[in-house]
Amino acid sequence: MNKKNKIIIPIAGAPVRYRLEIMKRAFPDLLDYIILFTTRTSYPMYKDYHNDFKFVFIEDYQDEFSKSSDEFERFPEFETEEEYFKKIAGFKGAFSLEISRFIFPYLMENNIYNFIITETDFIFKNDVEMLEKVFNSVPEGTLYAPWMGDDVFSNNPELWTNIQHLFPDIKLEYDEPIRMCDGFFRGFHFRNKEDMYLFYKIYCEAMKDAIKDNKISKVGTKLYYVEYVVHILMQIFKKQKNYNWNDIWKYTMIDGQKVGSHVCRPEDTFYHWRSDRWKEKYKLDSNNVTSIEEYIKKNKEQLDDYYRDNGYVVEVTDTHVFTSLKNN
């Protein structure tokens, strides 16, 4: 079995413990594929899971390309749930899938060129054979993500012209409509280390300018909206390096079945702007809630309805909403 293919998930802060327990229950047979990319400060918070998951530290792989990011990219490393939910709304940083770019040197060291970067709320089906089929179906020289519509917001030519002089061997241009993508999943299968290193260098340089532009996302925290950078770079590689560029479901739908499913989790993001939408549709109530456990106890039936409507097998306890996908 080729365990060289990996799934990378960036994590930080105390509430992630909640999601690690769900992941452990939902797809126990896939844990050898998972790399949790975290900080040394957060690592002790996950002591109950040190034997279950592979952890790689961000600090060990930040290099010359990342030095300027420290000023802007900060991590919500609040050590308790209470502190996290009290302070997260005022947190200003850029902890998102973009920080996972610093895993590239680790992957290149270990000759890992076929990999997925995703989030803790993407639930995989507990099926090793199916996951292997996904990785095996992705040709070398392929990039993929969850396609949406044309992106009329993020096509910022100046971002690329500002760094073009650093990369004389590739034109940082893409003359087709830019495809907007959701940010919860990215798939990569690089042809070789040289292509991966070039992608990484451009990614890091572009991120410096993108973060300094200070475009704040309105998602309930002061996170920078920078996820468009990697998606445009993927499309530049399609044009300039002749890479395949496809929608996520071209590779993650096997025999008519999805390898996994993504949905936002209300019970640990009740501070989020989506809470109004959840309240309207599912009557989920976050008033006077300060912890995950309080939220679950207050909304057991509603949470059961929410996750079942999104296609999950659900078990709601006093402390967790366990979600998984059926193996057919």
Do 118 and 69 share a structural domain?
yes
- E-strand spans in the chain? 6-10, 34-38, 54-57, 92-93, 114-118, 122-124, 142-145, 147-150, 179-181, 185-189, 222-223, 244-247, 253-254, 257-258, 260-262, 313-316, 321-324
pLDDT at 217 over 50: no
Q: Determine, yes or no, domain membership for 22.
A: yes
Does the CA dihedral 133-120-219-272 come out positive or negative?
Answer: positive
Q: Which helix (H) or strand (E) holds 135?
A: helix 128-137
Contact 207, 229 (CB under 8 A): yes
* pLDDT value, residue 236: 95
Instruction: Identify the domain boundary among 260, 278, 313.
Output: 260
Question: Average of pLDDT values for 265-272?
Answer: 84
pLDDT at 194 over 50: yes
Rounded to the nearest integer, the mean pLDDT of the chain is 86
Nearest 10 degrees: Cα torsion 210, 216, 219, 221: 110
Do 59 and 145 share a structural domain?
yes
Task: Tell me which residue range forms the domain holding 296.
Answer: 263-324
CATH code, domain with 30? 3.90.550
Instruction: Identify the domain boundary among 238, 260, 282.
Output: 260
Q: Determine, yes or no, domain membership for 242.
A: yes
Predicted confidence (pLDDT) per residue in 63-121, tens digit? 655 555 555 666 777 778 888 877 776 766 555 568 889 999 999 999 999 999 999 99
Q: Determine, yes or no, domain membership for 1.
A: no
Q: Is 198 helix (H, G, I), strand (E, B) or coil?
A: helix
pLDDT at 220 over 50: no
Dihedrals φ, ψ of 76, to 5°?
A: -80, 75
Dihedrals φ, ψ of 245, to 5°?
A: -135, 110
Question: Average of pLDDT values for 177-201?
Answer: 93
Question: Average of pLDDT values for 122-133?
Answer: 96
Predicted confidence (pLDDT) per residue in 38-77, tens digit? 989 899 999 999 999 999 998 888 765 555 555 566 677 7
Q: How sure is the predictor about 327, in pLDDT bands with cuts at 50, 70 and 90?
A: confident
Predicted confidence (pLDDT) per residue in 231-243, tens digit? 999 999 999 999 9
Do 272 and 236 share a structural domain?
no
* pLDDT value, residue 214: 52
The domain total for the chain is 2
Rounded Cα gap, residues 209 and 327, in angstroms: 44
Do 220 and 112 share a structural domain?
yes
Question: Average of pLDDT values for 219-241?
Answer: 80
* pLDDT value, residue 168: 96
Instruction: Identify the domain boundary among 232, 260, 288.
Output: 260
* pLDDT value, residue 69: 56
Predicted confidence (pLDDT) per residue in 128-187, tens digit? 999 999 999 999 999 999 998 776 555 567 889 999 999 999 999 888 888 888 889 999
Predicted confidence (pLDDT) per residue in 274-306, tens digit? 567 777 889 998 888 888 999 999 999 999 999
Do 68 and 171 share a structural domain?
yes
Do 290 and 191 share a structural domain?
no
Contact 102, 82 (CB under 8 A): no
pTM of the model: 0.91
Rounded Cα gap, residues 35 and 18, in angstroms: 17
Rounded Cα gap, residues 286 and 111, in angstroms: 46
- Length in residues, the chain: 328
Do 272 and 172 share a structural domain?
no
Nearest 10 degrees: Cα torsion 127, 57, 94, 20: 40
Residues 6+ apart with CB under 8 A from 254: 130, 133, 134, 137
Question: Average of pLDDT values for 251-263?
Answer: 92
**Beta bridge partners of residue 35, listed in sequence order:** 8, 54
